[in-house]
């Protein structure tokens, strides 16, 4: 029996109140707010955060695969699943794959993971994240939000069994982005829904219903992708579902999260599922995919670290529209009179990958002092080469002292740098993110989060920062 054995989610801390869009353009915007990836977040970092939420203490050593699904990978050529796997400290002999270029990427990755574990056993982590680019003042800018969801697919300790699935391919241009396009393009909505979305989704569900001999009444919740809130409810009702069976689309709190949208709704549905509940996830993009899950008794024994509900509750929605434009790299700001960052040295990145991605330091075998970065000579007892690897990623920490730097370059000045002391020993001077500078204080509890420091020379440089505990 293949199915989900763990799940989690990630929603960025920052939200844009859509009233800021109304103020900027003097035109009505949909209600609520949308989740906005910080300038130091991208699909990879959000996937890592969702995966950490999902693993929640489970050992990454048990993973046999790490799949990453998105329409917004950082590179056109270079896999990102390897970055996700490394940040999670997955074993070296893990199978990695990127699923991309389609809004269906998440469900396709889940089905591939299910195929893999049915064939070979093991556990495959699927992390789906998206931060789709939308041009200013447009419908997509109002609609799109950034988010991620992650699942472990396996055959043991399954908490939501895959009962059936159906894929339908349909090569219709609805929304697309060429390599050089900065923003998502679309054909007119009436065409894409009447000749794309509605018929393809209907066909997939009809086929699945026939295969499994099920009707909408047998389903507890439908986690349905839709190109907009209007079609979300309309499509579900047209398919024969009642209002109370529709998993909240989160359009007013997260926005439309691209390939991650339906997976995020699936994670939300799983958070509330009882044993025996059937949850139907439906995705769309050049075709449609439907996967039917049925919760087992084990659903009661699992909860993600924060999940959808925890992340929804942990937020800051005071950002203004100019900050939004800056984070999305849509507005040129005057550069500071400081040198541009050099492109990182690839050999140095390679040597330090275990620290930079999995966040390992070392612990002295002689005196027991943890230290990061890993040292050859112990800072405490000066023993040479008596270190064991020691991972700091999931340790809680407290601020020993801090500064609010108005001089250094940032897309979100001022920058808070903090000296953080890890529970159990070890200290790091690092940048903070997702924090309100005015509220930082000595003794504040922080946790580590995987971020993109900067891009230079076409290289995305990932590392860890501290944030106030969410």
Partner 1 sequence: MSIKDKVAIIGMGCTSFGEHWDKSASDLLVEAAYEALEDAGLEPRDIQAYWLGTCASGWAGISLSEPLKIQYRPVTRVENFCATGTDAFRNACYAVAAGAYDIAMAIGVEKLKDSGYSGLVITPPPGDGTAPNYSAPAAFSLLAPAYFKKYGLDPETGKLVLARIAYKNHKNGALNPKAQFRQEVPLEKILNSPIVAAPLGIMDCSGVADGAAAAIIVRSEDAKKFKKDPVYVKAISVVCGPGHGALHQDFDFTSIRETYYAGLDAYRQAGITNPRKEISMAEVHDCFTPTELVIYEDLGFSERGKAWQDVLNGVFDLDGELPVNPDGGLKSFGHPIGASGLRMLYEMYLQLRGLAGPRQIDNPKLGLTHNLGGFPWEAVCSVCIVGKETG
User: Minimal distance in Å, beta carbon 51 to partner 1?
Assistant: 21
Q: What's the rounded Cα separation, in Å, for the pair 14 and 249? A: 19
Residue of 274, 384, 414, 436 interacting with partner 1 (CB under 8 A): 414
Query: Collapsing DSSP states into helix, strand and coil, what is residue 51?
Result: helix
The nearer residue to partner 1, 2 or 415, going by C-beta atoms, is 415
- Residues near 75 by beta carbon (within 8 Å), at least 6 away in sequence: 460
Q: Which of 205, 250, 430, 448 binds partner 1 (CB under 8 A)?
A: 430
Per-residue x/- track, 336-355, partner 1 (CB under 8 A): xxxx-xxxxx--xx-xx--x
Residue from the set 157, 186, 314, 403 that interacts with partner 1 by CB under 8 A: 403
Find out whether 141 and 21 touch, Cβ atoms under 8 Å.
yes
Tell me: does residue 405 bind partner 1 (CB under 8 A): yes
Binding mask 377-396 for partner 1 (x = CB under 8 A): --xx----------------
309 interacts with partner 1 by CB under 8 A: no
367 lies in the site for partner 1, by CB under 8 A: no
Residue 34: strand pairing partners = 16
Task: Count the site residues for partner 1 by CB under 8 A.
Answer: 50
Tokens of 370: 């943890």
Q: Which residue from 320, 388, 456, 469 is in contact with partner 1, where contact means CB under 8 A?
A: 456
Instruction: Supply the minimum distance, in Å, between the C-beta of residue 298 and partner 1.
Output: 39
Q: Which one of residues 10, 99, 402, 450 is an interface residue with partner 1 (CB under 8 A)?
A: 402
Residues 229-258 that bind partner 1 (CB under 8 A): none
Find the shortest distance in angstroms from Cβ 55 to partner 1: 23
Between helices 105-120 and 261-272, what is the axis angle to 10°?
60
Of 180 and 350, nearer to partner 1 (C-beta) is 350
Compute the distance between CA of residue 166 and CA of residue 301 in angstroms, rounded to an integer.
29
Nearest alpha carbon to residue 467 among 425, 419, 423, 431: 431
Run of H or E including 171: none
463 binds partner 1 (CB under 8 A): yes
Q: Regarding beta strands 65-70 and 124-130, do their DSSP bridges make them parallel or antiparallel, or are they unpaired?
A: parallel
C-alpha to C-alpha distance for 231 and 225, rounded to whole angstroms: 9
How does DSSP assign 108-142, residue by residue?
A: HHHHHHHHHHHHH-S-EEEEEEE-----TTSHHHH
Considering the rule CB under 8 A, would residue 171 count as an interface residue with partner 1? no
- Provide the minimum distance between the beta carbon of 415 and partner 1 in the complex, in angstroms, as a whole number: 8
If phi over 0 gives left and psi between -120 and 50 gives alpha, with beta otherwise, what is residue 176? beta
Rg of the chain over Cα atoms, rounded to whole angstroms, equals 22
The residues of the shown chain that bind partner 1, judged by CB under 8 A, are: 336-339, 341-345, 348-349, 351-352, 355-356, 369, 371-372, 375, 379-380, 400-409, 414-415, 417, 419, 421, 425-431, 437, 442, 453-454, 456, 461, 463
């Amino acid at each position: 029996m293949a199915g989900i054995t763990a799940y989690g989610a990630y929603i960025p801390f920052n939200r844009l109140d859509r009233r800021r869009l109304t103020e900027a353009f003097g035109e009505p915007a949909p209600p609520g707010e949308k989740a906005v990836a910080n300038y130091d977040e991208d699909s990879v970092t959000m996937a890592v955060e969702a995966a950490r939420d999902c693993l929640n203490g489970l050992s990454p050593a048990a993973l046999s695969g790490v799949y990453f699904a998105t329409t917004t990978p950082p590179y056109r050529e270079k896999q990102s699943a390897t970055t996700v796997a490394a940040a999670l400290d997955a074993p070296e002999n893990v199978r990695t794959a990127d699923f991309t270029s389609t809004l269906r990427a998440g469900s396709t990755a889940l089905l591939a993971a299910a195929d893999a574990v049915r064939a070979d056993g093991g556990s495959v982590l699927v992390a789906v994240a998206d931060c789709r680019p939308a041009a200013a003042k447009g419908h997509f800018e109002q609609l799109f939000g950034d988010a991620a969801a992650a699942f472990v697919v396996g055959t043991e300790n399954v908490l939501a069994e895959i009962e059936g699935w159906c894929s339908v391919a349909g090569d219709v241009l609805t929304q697309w982005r060429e390599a050089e396009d900065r923003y998502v393009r679309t054909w007119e909505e009436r065409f894409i829904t009447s000749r794309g979305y509605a018929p393809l989704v209907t066909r997939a569900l009809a086929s699945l219903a026939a295969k499994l001999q099920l009707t909408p009444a047998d389903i507890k919740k439908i986690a349905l992708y839709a190109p907009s809130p209007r079609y979300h409810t309309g499509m579900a009702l047209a398919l024969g579902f009642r209002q109370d069976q529709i998993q909240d689309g989160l359009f007013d709190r997260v926005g439309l999260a691209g390939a991650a949208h339906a997976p995020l709704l699936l994670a939300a549905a799983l958070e509330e599922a009882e044993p025996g509940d059937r949850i139907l996830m439906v995705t769309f993009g050049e075709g449609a995919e439907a996967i039917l899950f049925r919760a087992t008794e084990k659903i009661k024994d699992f909860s993600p670290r924060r999940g959808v509900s925890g992340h929804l509750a942990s937020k800051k929605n005071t950002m203004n529209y100019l900050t939004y434009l800056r984070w999305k790299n849509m507005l040129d700001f005057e550069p500071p009179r400081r040198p541009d960052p050099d492109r990182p040295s690839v050999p140095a990145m390679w040597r330090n990958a275990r620290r930079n991605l999995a966040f390992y330091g070392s612990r002295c075998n002689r005196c027991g002092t943890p230290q990061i970065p890993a040292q050859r000579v112990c800072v405490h007892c000066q023993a040479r080469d008596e270190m064991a690897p020691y991972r700091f990623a999931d340790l809680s920490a407290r601020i020993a002292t801090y500064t609010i730097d108005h001089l250094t370059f940032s897309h979100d000045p001022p920058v808070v740098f903090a000296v953080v002391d890890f529970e159990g020993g070890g200290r790091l001077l690092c940048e903070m993110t997702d924090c309100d500078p005015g509220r930082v204080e000595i003794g504040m509890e922080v946790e580590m989060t995987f971020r993109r420091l900067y891009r230079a020379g076409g290289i995305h440089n990932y590392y860890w920062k501290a944030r106030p505990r969410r």
